[in-house]
Structures are given as C-alpha cells and as structure tokens.
Structure 1
Amino acid sequence: MENQSVKIHPQKDKIIIIMGATGTGKSRLSIDLATRFFPSEIINSDKIQLYRGLDITTNKIPFQDRLGVPHHLLGEFDSELGELTPLEYRSIASSTIDEILSRNKTPVIAGGSNSLIHALVSDRYDPDSDVFDEDDIEPLLLSANKLRYDCCFLWVDVALPVLYEYLLRRVDDMFDAGMLDELSEWFESETELGSLGERVGIKKAIGLPEFEEYFRGVGGNDSNDTMDTQIKMDLAIEAIKFNTCQLAKRQIGKIQRLRSAGWDLRRLNATEAFRAVLLSDSGMSSEAWEKKVVEPSVKIVKRFLEE
C-alpha cells in the first residue's frame, strides 16, 4: 500500500475577545478574568482610547483600577502624528499578541471598536472593503469561518433602555470627575482655540465637537453672557448624552451583524447588574455582576482554553 502524506494544519493561537457597546463593562470583565482566573494581558480595541490624552473624556480605565494587569495600545499613540488605520492596528496588535503568548499568558482583546476587531482576526483582511455596509453581508459570511486566531468571543450585552439610562448617568459622573476641566485644558492647548480642524484620532472623541462652541464663547463678564454660557454648557452635555447613546446603538448593530453572519459570539446578559446600579448609589452590584457575567464567562473561557 502506498504511503500517503497527511497534511497537518498548525494549531491557531487562542485569544479572548470581549465585545460590547460603550459602557457595558468590558474593561471590568477583562480585569476580573485577568486577576482572578487566567494569567492574561489586555490589548485595547477602542479606536479612540488608542491615543494619548483626555483620559476622562475617552473613559480610559484609570491606572489604579487596572490592578497591575498589563494593558497594551491604551493611550500609546499621538494622534497629531496621524490616525492609526485598521490595517496598522492589525499589524501592531498581532505583534503584541505574539509577545503576550511568549510570556505564557492569554491575550485578552477588549474594546468597542468592531472594525478594529474584524481587522485583527480576519484571515484575509481587505482594508478597502466595508464589512459593516448594510447592503452587503457577503464579506462577513466569508470571514466567519476564516479567522486567523482561535477566538473566544464574549459579548457583554445590556438591554438598550437600561443601557441608555446608565450612559446618561455615566456622563454626569464623568463631569463630576473633572471632564469639564480636562476639556478646558485641551482646548486651551490647541493652536486655534475651539477649532477642531480635521477630525482624526482623538479629535473624534465624543465631547470635543459638542463643547467647541462653548469654549469658543467662554470669557464674557456680562450677565447675559453668563446665561448664554450656561445654556451652551447644558446643550453640550445633552449632545454628549445623545451622541453616546447613538454610538451604543450603532455598536450593538454591528455586533448583531457579526453574529448573524455566523461569528460565534457568546452573549452575556448584564442587564440585571446594570439595573441594580441604577437603583443604588453604591456602584456595580457585585452579586448580579458575578452571577450573570463573571461566572458564565469563566466557564466559557475555561472550556475554550482546555479544548
């Protein structure tokens, strides 16, 4: 009998990807997994958080809340040098994954920019193709079974009415934490006060265009000017809240599009945990978060890593 050569396919590297709309707790879950269950390092996949500055406005996880877990591609780039393309992100994040794996740790990709996630994991990425174009789902259908990593997708989901209410409160909390002062310093540092110019990199952050008119008009002493300034501030805050909710809706739409195309996204319903937050002033309900999000995530990831 003639010997037949057997083709052996190299095993793909395993990575964990935490997806979800803005404000759904992706960073918290990544820290929970990394500090309590699986030795991990975290790679940011939020396209605005890639850039330095405006930490409150862009809602970067504070250093003290990272609990010693290494974070990569978080506030590392200067948008004045140009905007990082999805193709460039693919290359840089891939190299970072290799480095993490070389340390025998699990790479965890966490962030809300689904275009970056798609660029990173697709086997054959076409930078000229918009896979989230509503009229053509074929590129996503083709890529669903052609990923260059062995991916465990965790989708942290919150019912939209609850998420919207939470996001409105979060914007207020961000201002309480000093967002207005941060924006003021940013506009003062610009060469042309209040002029955003071309919106690239961090200049796409929600908060900057909404407050441009406010900071252009600050400085008058007349009582009417003061009243106008307050009105502009209130309108800017309301615009931030509206645009944040719209962003969340778009992100969920893209995630649902990926799932309908065959991507194996494991949905974690965090609605109960967020509803508990809205009913109290004590922050995230540990009990609901553990039961509805952390525990099922651990089971999914453990099974994935042992396969």
Structure 2
Amino acid sequence: MESPSTVAAAVSPISPSSRRRKRKIVVIMGPTGAGKSRLSIDLATRFFDNSEIINSDKMQVYSGLDITTNKITMQERRGVPHHLLGAIDPRKSVFTPSDFRNVAAEYINQIRTRRGLPLVVGGSNSLIYSLVTKRYDPKSDVFNGPEPQPYLSKRVDEMLDSGMFEELSEFFRSDEHKRVNRCGLGQAIGIPEFETYFTNFPGLRRTEGSVFEEDVMGQEAYDEAVRRIKDNTCQLAKKQVSKILRLRDAGWELKRIDATEAFRAVMTAERGGARVAEIWEKQVVEPSMKIVKHFLEE
C-alpha cells in the first residue's frame, strides 16, 4: 500500500525562455486526499500575502453536495478568497477543460491586477493541463499510459461520518439527481455508487455506527455502496498520480513534496496530536514554501 503524498508544482503558463519577464502562478496538484487544500491555505496565510485560490477540481466547481465532493469549508478557508468553488450550476452543460482555461485565465488576470498571487489548487489534472499548456487542443489526450498503485479508504469513512450519507439521501429524495448533468456533477463519486441503494431503500435511515436496525438487506446494500466508493476513490487516485507522472515525463518541472509520514501519523495513535502538526510543518509546509519562494524569485 502506498500512502498519499502531496505534489506541488510551481509553474508558469508561458515558455521557460520568457518566464523571467512574466508574472507567475503557482499550481498545487496531487491525488485525492493528499492535503492540497491544507497546504494551499498554509502558504496563503503564512508566507505569500494577497494569495487567492482558483479551484481546479472538476467536481468541486459545481454547486451542491459539499461533503460528497469534499469542498473546503468556509472556516477552513481562513479568509483566503476562493474562485470556481461551487460556482457552476450542475443542471446546465458540463464545465469542460476549455471552459476552465478561459474562466481561470480571467481570474488570474483579476488577481494579478490586485497584485495578488494566483494559487491553482486541485486534483483534476486535465483542467490544470488545459490552463498551463501553451497551445491547448481539447481533442488530444496526453494522459494515456500505466498507472501506479496508491490506496485510500479512511478518507471515505471520514466523509461518511461528516454527513455524506445524509447529504446524498436528501439529494436523491428531492430528485435533484435527475436534474444535474449526468456527465458533470452526476459523475461525482458517491452518486452512481449509492443510486441503486436509494432506489431500492428510499426510506431507510442510517443509525449510529452505520447500522440499519432490523434490515439486513439494507445494510448489505449500504456496505456494497461504500465498498464501491472506496474502490473508485482508489482508482481515481491512481489516475491522478499517473497523469502527474505523464506531465513530468512530458517535460513539466514538477517539485514533489512527500507527505507520507504526516498521513501515517494521522492513522496511528498520534492522530490529532502535536506530532502530526510538527511533521506536517517540517516535511510539507517548509519545503513547499522554499520551492514557491525560489520559483517566484527566479
């Protein structure tokens, strides 16, 4: 099992030869659950004043299902402006990489006008690629190739404990799932996996401990949906990491920050303690700050 890690890339949407003459953007990318949002807030609030974050997660751009899509909360944002987070109506057409390229570029211009630093943060590498590549062709696919083997499941349990099941229950009960675009928010992990469950057991409610009282079939259907969510989350992480590796192989200058030890501490008895914060600070925040500072000073 490979633990998640954060991949931070400091890049500019221009050719290297002209980099010194242009103001720059910073991209923080990595697989789901790697700590991208937390790192971006640490950098924005502690080291780089006037930073603003542009979300590059293709499910989080849509409004609704904040827990299911794992959007950063208002409290967690700590006053840092966020753009393209819950901004797109999921009932309308799909928000494509081409759309992201155009809209994000406008936000970057606005942030620069305010003399701010744009931080592009998210795990949807197709969106990041569309923004940063010099000539974007929406018909081309640069992300073909083998996949590495990361694994995630604890993240799903935490989302369920935070209210993901209840959020999806209301989403299906209100028939909102019939109104959202099936090729957009309708693809968010959790919706397809739970659709059969909520169709067959529309009135069933989860009790404490995720146990359904006196309904064995309901419990089995719930367990199967959760298993599929965990499997699909792992597959998503594989794809995200493999895409990052292909960008590196294509010549992108990526800087890797390994957050494995910090996540391992969270998974053990050290969870929630000062040790986790210490590891995160030393192995993630400090090296990331140095990478970004060096990039901006080049």
TM-score norm. by structure 2 comes to 0.85
Matching of residue 294 in structure 1 with residue 285 in structure 2: yes
Contact 2:47 2:289 in 1 (8 A): yes
Aligned to 1:216: 199
Aligned to 1:184: 169
Contact 2:142 2:246 in 1 (8 A): no
- Residue type of the alignment partner of 2:263: F
Q: 1 CA distance for matches of 2:68 and 2:27?
A: 24
State how 1:72-87 maps to structure 2 within 5 Å.
72-87=83-98
Cα–Cα, structure 1 residues 224 and 61, in superposed 2: closer, same or farther, change >3 Å?
A: closer
Q: 1:64 aligns with which of 50, 58, 75?
A: 75
Cα–Cα, structure 1 residues 66 and 228, in superposed 2: closer, same or farther, change >3 Å?
A: same
Question: 1:212-265 CA deviation, whole Å, 9 max, x = no partner?
Answer: 0110011579x9982111100010001101110110011101101111111100
State how 1:76-225 maps to structure 2 within 5 Å.
76-134=87-145, 164=151, 167-190=152-175, 199-219=182-202
Question: 1:141-170 CA deviation, whole Å, 9 max, x = no partner?
Answer: xxxxxxxxxxxxxxxxxx955xx2xx3112
Aligned to 2:5: none
Cα–Cα, structure 1 residues 228 and 36, in superposed 2: closer, same or farther, change >3 Å?
A: same
Cα–Cα, structure 1 residues 57 and 220, in superposed 2: closer, same or farther, change >3 Å?
A: closer
- Residue type of the alignment partner of 1:291: K
Give the drift of 1:131: 1.4
Matching of residue 230 in structure 1 with residue 227 in structure 2: no
State the structure with more CA Rg: 1
Question: 1:275-305 CA deviation, whole Å, 9 max, x = no partner?
Answer: 1111133178111111111100111111111
Aligned to 1:140: none
What is the aligned length?
Answer: 270
Q: 1 CA distance for matches of 2:197 and 2:248?
A: 41
Give the drift of 1:195: 6.0
Q: 1 CA distance for matches of 2:221 and 2:74?
A: 32
Contact 1:273 1:285 in 2 (8 A): yes
Give 3-state SS (helix, strand or coil) of 1:108's partner.
strand
- Residue type of the alignment partner of 1:282: G
Q: 2:52 aligns with which of 28, 41, 51?
A: 41
Cα–Cα, structure 1 residues 219 and 59, in superposed 2: closer, same or farther, change >3 Å?
A: closer
Aligned to 2:25: 15
Give the drift of 1:175: 0.9
Aligned to 1:148: none
Over aligned residues, Cα RMSD in angstroms?
Answer: 2.4
Cα–Cα, structure 1 residues 160 and 279, in superposed 2: closer, same or farther, change >3 Å?
A: farther
Aligned to 2:13: none
> Where in structure 1 are there 5+ consecutive unaligned residues?
1-7, 136-158
> Where in structure 2 are there 5+ consecutive unaligned residues?
1-16, 205-211
After TM superposition, the runs of 4+ consecutive aligned structure 1 residues lying more than 4 A away are 194-198
